[in-house]
């Protein structure tokens, strides 16, 4: 006999208990702390902060612990928390030329003022599993440079700018206040500031694939990594009652300026154009991919032929957000039996009709 499905509430509560047990794993092994995650899984923390649009290493580490290491779930947790926070104001635009650098490289010039600084990078590690890490190791002692890095280093794009070879990066006409995508809906066509905001929150994997596609002929890009820099910048606000800037802390950023060819147009001489990427923490792959996609999304503005996915802003911007994408893809787990029943009924009707028509005249085409 049919028994109506009941007890959803109990099942949900029990699944929460099972989840907590699974998260903890073997109880004989010490529990991990958010502090350990913050200090020793800093790249995971950085991604959660970037795509969660909230710079808070401790909360991101907590989210990673709660999500058992699932980055998108952790990003979702951080976003859902962020949305409840009040806005106190806007910071002064950060000045990345005054960044306290940990890393700065340019692929466009052999040497440049300030020099190339490798910093902590996986780039030239040989990817051999290091079995010594299985055991606890004494803390390594970092090497010291012979002299400190200068306080401020000019950006490569600024060096080219002096010659007029690089397009000027000027605020849009009238310097309008940027949209806040977490408060206002995205609308098309979106201006560059809005697009960059969307990409900054966008999924690293998605941007990586999109950026990669522009290198393989889906869009015409000839990018050079003009400069990649990573380090700490001061965050300043101007409180109304004071009227001058006050530093409220420092954040770590990775910035990428891609340099792309541009053949020029009727009004603009041939020059280099830019793609821009910025991410919280150490996130070079994300910043580079973002810069590639930013540049390809400028196709219509620069009068380039538009034929590839990475150039279509509705395509890119509507599908870059992993919290949205993850939710909608996974909503297929929800019951759809009413719709499915409707489709069943239709399919039976169509098959009945087809059977009636007979094998001789199969005028009806195959169903979709």
Contact footprint for another protein (CB under 8 A) = 1-9, 11-12, 76, 79-80, 82-84, 182-189, 314, 323-324, 326-331, 334-339, 341-346, 349-350, 353, 364-365, 367-368
What is the three-class DSSP state of 197? helix
**Shortest CB 308 distance to another protein, Å:** 15
Tell me the β-bridge partners of 104. Answer: 117, 229
Measured from the CB atom, is 137 or 330 closer to another protein? 330
Measured from the CB atom, is 222 or 348 closer to another protein? 348
Measured from the CB atom, is 42 or 319 closer to another protein? 319
**Shortest CB 311 distance to another protein, Å:** 13
Q: Which two tokens stand for residue 208?
A: 């990586």
Measured from the CB atom, is 28 or 185 closer to another protein? 185
Distant-in-sequence, close-in-space partners of 207: CB < 8 Å, separation ≥ 6: 199, 286, 289, 290, 292, 293, 320
Distance set, CA 165 to CA 82, 114, 154, 274 (Å) = 41, 21, 16, 11
Measured from the CB atom, is 13 or 141 closer to another protein? 13
**Shortest CB 210 distance to another protein, Å:** 17
**Shortest CB 290 distance to another protein, Å:** 21
Look at residues 52, 156, 164, 53 and name the one whose alpha carbon lies nearest to residue 108.
Answer: 156
49 close to 78: Cβ distance less than 8 angstroms: yes
**Shortest CB 72 distance to another protein, Å:** 10
Measured from the CB atom, is 93 or 335 closer to another protein? 335
Query: Interior CA angle at 253 toward 177 and 275, to 5°?
Result: 65
Residue 86 CB neighbours (<10 A): 4
**Shortest CB 94 distance to another protein, Å:** 24
């Amino acid at each position: 006999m049919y028994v109506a499905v009941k007890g959803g509430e109990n099942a949900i509560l029990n699944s929460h208990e099972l989840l907590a047990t699974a998260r903890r794993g073997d109880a004989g092994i010490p529990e991990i702390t958010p502090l350990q995650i913050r200090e020793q899984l800093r790249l995971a923390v950085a991604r959660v902060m970037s795509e969660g649009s909230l710079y808070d290493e401790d909360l991101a580490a907590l989210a990673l612990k709660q999500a058992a290491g699932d980055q998108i779930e952790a990003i979702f947790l951080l976003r859902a928390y962020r949305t409840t926070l009040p806005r106190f104001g806007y910071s002064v635009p950060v000045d990345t030329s005054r960044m306290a650098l940990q890393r700065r490289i340019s692929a466009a010039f052999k040497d440049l003022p300030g020099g190339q600084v490798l910093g902590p990078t996986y780039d030239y590690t040989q990817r051999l599993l290091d079995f010594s890490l299985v055991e606890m190791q004494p803390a390594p002692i970092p090497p010291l440079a012979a002299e400190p890095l200068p306080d401020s280093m000019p950006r490569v794009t600024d060096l080219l700018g002096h010659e007029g070879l690089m397009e000027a990066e000027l605020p849009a006409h009238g310097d309008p206040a940027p949209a806040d995508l977490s408060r206002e809906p995205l609308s098309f066509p979106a201006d560059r500031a809005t697009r960059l905001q969307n990409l900054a929150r966008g999924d690293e994997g998605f941007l990586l694939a999109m950026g990669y596609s522009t290198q393989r002929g889906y869009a015409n890009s000839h990018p050079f990594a003009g400069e990649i820099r990573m380090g700490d910048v001061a965050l300043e606000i101007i409180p109304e009652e004071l009227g001058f800037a006050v530093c409220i802390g420092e954040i770590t950023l990775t910035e990428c300026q891609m340099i792309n060819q541009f053949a020029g147009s009727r009004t603009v001489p041939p020059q280099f154009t830019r793609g821009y990427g910025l991410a919280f923490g150490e996130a070079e792959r994300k910043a580079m991919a973002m810069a590639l996609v930013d540049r390809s999304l400028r196709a219509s503005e620069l009068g380039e032929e538009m034929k590839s996915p990475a150039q279509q802003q509705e395509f890119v911007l509507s599908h870059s957000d992993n919290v949205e994408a993850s939710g909608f893809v996974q909503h297929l787990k929800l019951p759809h039996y009413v719709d499915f029943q409707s489709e069943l009924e239709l399919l039976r009707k169509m098959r009945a009709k087809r059977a009636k028509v007979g094998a001789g005249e199969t005028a009806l085409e195959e169903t979709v």
